[in-house]
Amino acid sequence: MKFYLYSFFIALLFFVHFIPAHSQSVDTLSHKKFAVYDIYIDGNFKTKRSILLRELTFNKGDTIAVRDWADLAVRSKDNLRNTGLFNFVQVDTVNMSTGETAVSIAVEEKWYIWPNPIFQVEERNFNVWWTQDHRSLNKIDYGLQAIDNNTLGLRQVLKVGFQLGYTQQFSLSYAIPYINKRQKGGLQVYLTSSQNKEIGYTSVNGILTFLSTPEATLQQEYTARLDYTYRQGLYDIHYFEANFHSCTINDTLTKLTTDYLPGNATSANFFGLKYFFRRDLRDYAPYPLAGYYIDFSLNDYGLGFLNSHPFNIAYVQTSLHKYWTLSKYFFYAAMVEGKISNNAEQPYYLQRGLGYSNDMVRGYEDYVIDGNDYALVKNEIKFRFLNVPVQKLPLIGMRQFNKAYYALYLTLYSDWGYLTSPAPYVVNNFLANRQLWGNGVGIDLVAYYDLIWRFEYSFNGLGQGGFFLHFQAGM
């Protein structure tokens, strides 16, 4: 009960801050308006005009109050930038010789087609690889992925990957954001085949524990996924997903654990369904400083049939993020995330608690807290002490690469987490059912092509401190 009271109290504080304050202001622009005579777009050499028009907060022929134009222009600029298609975007009005007012949009497209080399660490985060794995090259994936991030100029994304190393994998995906003229419905298809000779099968004292068999494959997986997406307006998107999973493991694993796959079997084949909703009003999605983001997902794996040991695991997961621009130099962000499952005992292959991906309390990067239900709260204040504007690079002729910018932020943060319904078969899951606090200071580097490096020094509730490196925004 204490867990839910803490979660409710912190969520309540978040929502109090989330509600914007309103004050009366003097309308210095009175009731002046203008009609959008036309919309001129420049710089979209590949991207179709319709893709850009889809992101705008206004249309040709709209009558706009002058006092509203600045907000509409900024929001349209952010929308276009958050497509991931452009490095730079400008939105301005143009006074025509005939007296009408038009809108001019100038974009600079990114480079879309990449023969992308794969060289990545196969771990929960870089810090675990550096300390617990002792920078072992056995945990490295390498290969090649061909990516077209703007197929046919319609924002479609085609990826084909072939990977060796720690995880040997072939992957194919194709995402079509719009399949109709109204640009609301879309389809996404994902296919993967992978195998590993080492897998994490349990945790001991909060440390993920691995089994390795260099002479034999430990796990073979096949996955297929089909998504239907529905984009409602500019900022809301719904995903309806059907997926299929097939997993086969070496019988050596069944002698070490009883819960990796359902029924301690050596194979499992099962379907899953998922509904996911996202509302995204961030100014710059890779590293937001203003706006907010909400998501909600309802997930069901197993569905109670097909598998030789039928099972049904359902859970709800949601998160809320809010970003405030306090001044030209200071910014504040807060986040609340939670997950609630229907089943106390879940196969280790499917369960995910805290410590995976970005779902962690900073300062606990070395640990996993295995279980089904959790709450996570993050707070962060930033000071931008260096902001180098766009600079043109000499000797580089390609427009996609001849400009650069970067900014540096000093950050102070405090995180809180709590996990309940701990996984029953792990050894000494001592961080479950206790409050987890993490505090620290860091420097964030934000640069061209959405590059983000976070250098942080964190303290946790165990009295431990350490330096940590991450490659995405903290929330």
Q: What is the pLDDT of residues 350-360, one digit of tens each?
A: 999 999 988 99
State the Cα–Cα distance between residues 95 and 295, nearest whole angstrom.
Answer: 41
Give the confidence band of 388 by pLDDT, cuts at 50, 70, 90: confident
Give the confidence band of 99 by pLDDT, cuts at 50, 70, 90: confident
Q: Which residues contact 460 (CB under 8 A, 6 or more apart)?
A: 361, 363, 364, 436, 437, 438
**Is residue 353 within 8 Å of 372, Cβ to Cβ?**
yes
**Structure tokens belonging to residue 294:** 């909400």
- Answer left, alpha or beta for residue 462, where phi above 0 means left and psi between -120 and 50 means alpha: alpha
**Which residue bears the tokens 């061209």?**
448
Tell me: pLDDT of 322 over 90.
yes
The DSSP element (H or E) to which 324 belongs, if any, is: strand 313-325
The DSSP element (H or E) to which 310 belongs, if any, is: none
Give the confidence band of 395 by pLDDT, cuts at 50, 70, 90: low
pLDDT at 29: 52
Tell me: pLDDT of 2 over 60.
no
**pLDDT higher at 326 or 32:** 326
pLDDT at 30: 56
**Is residue 421 within 8 Å of 403, Cβ to Cβ?**
no
In the sheet that holds 101-109, the strands lie side by side as 63-65, 33-42, 101-109, 86-95
For residue 140, the Cα-to-chain-centroid distance in whole angstroms is 22
Q: What is the pLDDT of residues 409-422, one digit of tens each?
A: 999 999 999 999 88
**Structure tokens belonging to residue 410:** 């000093």
For residue 452, the Cα-to-chain-centroid distance in whole angstroms is 13
What dihedral do alpha carbons 421, 427, 433, 439 form, nearest 10°?
Answer: -120
pLDDT at 97: 86
Give the confidence band of 342 by pLDDT, cuts at 50, 70, 90: confident
Tell me: pLDDT of 199 over 90.
yes
pLDDT at 24: 44
**Structure tokens belonging to residue 107:** 């974009």
Q: What is the pLDDT of residues 432-453, one digit of tens each?
A: 999 999 999 999 999 978 899 9
State the Cα–Cα distance between residues 145 and 115, nearest whole angstrom.
Answer: 6
Pick the closest to residue 2 from 370, 428, 424, 418 (CA basis).
418
Give the confidence band of 337 by pLDDT, cuts at 50, 70, 90: very high
Q: What rounded mean pLDDT belongs to the chain?
A: 90
Give the confidence band of 306 by pLDDT, cuts at 50, 70, 90: confident
| Burial grade of 452 (CB within 10 A; 0-12, 13-18, 19 or more) | middle
The pTM of the full predicted model, rounded to 2 decimals, is 0.84
Domains of the chain with CATH codes: 28-109 (3.10.20.310), 177-470 (2.40.160.50)
What dihedral do alpha carbons 429, 431, 434, 438 form, nearest 10°?
Answer: -170
pLDDT at 273: 97
pLDDT at 345: 81
Q: What is the pLDDT of residues 142-179, one digit of tens each?
A: 999 999 999 999 999 999 999 999 999 999 999 999 99
Cβ–Cβ contacts within 10 Å for residue 74, how many?
A: 14
Lowest average pLDDT, out of 30-34, 35-39, 173-177, 360-364, goes to 30-34
Tell me: pLDDT of 236 over 90.
yes
Q: Which residues contact 71 (CB under 8 A, 6 or more apart)?
A: none
Across 98-204, the runs of DSSP E, i.e. the strands, are: 101-109, 113-121, 140-151, 156-165, 167-176, 185-196, 198-204
What percentage of the chain carries pLDDT values higher than 70?
92
pLDDT at 321: 98
Q: What is the pLDDT of residues 207-223, one digit of tens each?
A: 999 999 888 899 999 99
**Is residue 386 within 8 Å of 377, Cβ to Cβ?**
no
**Mean local confidence (pLDDT), 112-118:** 88
**pLDDT higher at 157 or 303:** 157
State the Cα–Cα distance between residues 228 and 130, nearest whole angstrom.
Answer: 39
Give the confidence band of 22 by pLDDT, cuts at 50, 70, 90: very low
Is 131 in a helix, a strand, or coil?
helix
**Mean local confidence (pLDDT), 254-265:** 90
State the Cα–Cα distance between residues 385 and 331, nearest whole angstrom.
Answer: 12
